[in-house]
Amino acid sequence: MLRYIILFIIPVLAFANSGGDTDIFPRTINFLLFAGLLYYLLANIIRNFFKNRKDSIADRLNAIQEKLKESKQQKNRALEKIEEAKANAKALLITSEKENKMMLAKISSDLVSEIKNLEKANHDQMDIERRKMVRAVISETLSELFTEESIAIDKEKFINIILKKVA
C-alpha cells in the first residue's frame, strides 16, 4: 500500500515546481511512471498468460509424444504377434504334413490288409465252391452208377471215372 502512495505522490511533487518553458521532462516522467505502473499491474497477468500458453503447448507435445511411444509399442507388439503367427503357421504346416503322411501310411496299411482279407475270403469261397462241385459230381456219378445196374465196373475203372469227372 505504501508503494501506491509513493507512486502517486512522486508525480505530484515533480510537477509542483514547473517553471520551465518546455514540458518534455514532465511528460517523460509521466510516461515512465505510466509505463512502470502498467508493467507493475499487467506484468503478472501477461507472464501468467504466456506461462500457461507455454505449459499447455508442452502438455500437448508430451501427450503427442506419449501417443507416439504407445503407437510404437503397439506396432512392435503387432510385429511380434505377426512373427509368432508365422512361426505357428510353420509349425502347423509341419505338423499337418506329418499327420498326412501318417494317415496315408495307415490308409495304405488298412487297404493292404483289406485286400489280403478279400483275397483270403475269395480263396476260401473258391475252395467251398470247389468242394461243392466235387460233391455234386461224385454224387451225380454215383447216382448214375447205381441207377445203371447192368454195368459192372471194377474199382480201378470206377476211380478213373471219378478222377476224370473231378478234374
| pTM of the predicted model as reported, rounded to 2 decimal places | 0.41
State the Cα–Cα distance between residues 125 and 93, nearest whole angstrom: 47
pLDDT at 150: 46
Please, which residues have CB within 8 angstroms of residue 162's CB and are 6 or more apart in sequence? 137, 138, 141
Question: Alpha-carbon Rg of the chain, whole angstroms?
Answer: 62
Q: What is the pLDDT averaged over residues 29-39? A: 88
Residue ranges of the alpha helices (H) in the chain? 2-16, 24-147, 155-166
Taking only the tens place, the pLDDT of each residue in 71-109 is: 999 999 999 999 999 999 999 999 999 999 999 999 999
Phi (first) and psi of residue 41, to 5 degrees: -80, -40
Domain assignments of the chain as residue spans, ordered by start:
2-15+22-166
pLDDT at 115: 94
Lowest mean pLDDT among 5-9, 127-131, 151-155: 151-155
What grid cell was written down for 73?
509399442
Cα 104-110-113 angle, rounded to 5 deg: 140
> Residues of the chain with pLDDT > 70: what percent?
84
